[in-house]
Amino acid sequence: MKVRKWWKRMVILDLLLAGLLFLRTCQGYEESLQASVQYDQENREQTQDSVPTDQSQSGGKLVALTFDDGPDPRYTEKLLDGLKERGVKATFFVTGANASKYPEIVKRIQEEGHLIGNHTYHHIQLTAANGEQFRNEIVSTNEVIREITGEDTEYIRPPYGSWNKKYEEELNMFPVLWSIDPRDWCSDDADCIVRNTVSKIKEGDIILMHDQYKSSVIAALEIVDRLQKDGYVFVTVEELLLD
Size of the site for Zn ion (CB under 5 A): 3
3-state secondary structure of 235: coil
**Minimum separation from the CB atom of position 31 to Zn ion (A):** 60
Cα angle 68, 114, 84 (rounded to 5 degrees) comes to 105
Stretch that binds Zn ion, among 10-18, 31-39, 40-48, 153-161 (CB under 5 A): 153-161
27, 37, 38, 53 from 41: Cα distances, Å: 21, 6, 5, 18
Q: Which is closer to Zn ion, CB of 69 or CB of 205?
A: 69
Stretch that binds Zn ion, among 19-27, 62-70, 82-90, 232-240 (CB under 5 A): 62-70
Query: What is the amino acid identity at position 6?
Result: W
Question: Which one of 62, 67, 68, 153 is in contact with Zn ion (CB under 5 A)?
Answer: 68
CB-nearest residue to Zn ion: 68
**Minimum separation from the CB atom of position 126 to Zn ion (A):** 13
Residue 209 has what DSSP assignment? E
**Minimum separation from the CB atom of position 124 to Zn ion (A):** 10
Let me know: does 62 contact 235? Beta carbons within 8 Å: yes
For the question of residue 114 being annotated catalytic, the response is no
Q: Which is closer to Zn ion, CB of 117 or CB of 159?
A: 159
- Among residues 191, 210, 225, 230, the one annotated as catalytic is 210
Stretch that binds Zn ion, among 37-45, 64-72, 79-87, 216-224 (CB under 5 A): 64-72
**Nearest-CA neighbor of 176 among 163, 189, 195, 187?**
163
**Minimum separation from the CB atom of position 118 to Zn ion (A):** 11
Residues 6+ apart with CB under 8 A from 240: 62, 63, 64, 204, 206
33, 91, 119, 205 from 173: Cα distances, Å: 42, 15, 11, 21
Q: Which is closer to Zn ion, CB of 184 or CB of 233?
A: 184
**Minimum separation from the CB atom of position 72 to Zn ion (A):** 12
Q: Which is closer to Zn ion, CB of 62 or CB of 193?
A: 193
Stretch that binds Zn ion, among 74-82, 137-145, 156-164, 193-201 (CB under 5 A): 156-164
Residue 69 binding Zn ion, by CB under 5 A: yes
Q: Which is closer to Zn ion, CB of 118 or CB of 197?
A: 118
Let me know: does 230 contact 88? Beta carbons within 8 Å: no
d(CA 124, CA 162): 10
> What's the gap between Cα 229 and its chain centre?
22
Q: Which is closer to Zn ion, CB of 69 or CB of 77?
A: 69
Q: Going along 35-74, which residue ranges are E strands?
A: 61-68
For the question of residue 68 being annotated catalytic, the response is yes
d(CA 153, CA 173): 8
Q: Which residues are annotated as catalytic?
A: 68, 210
Q: What is the contact surface with Zn ion in residues (CB under 5 A)?
A: 68-69, 159
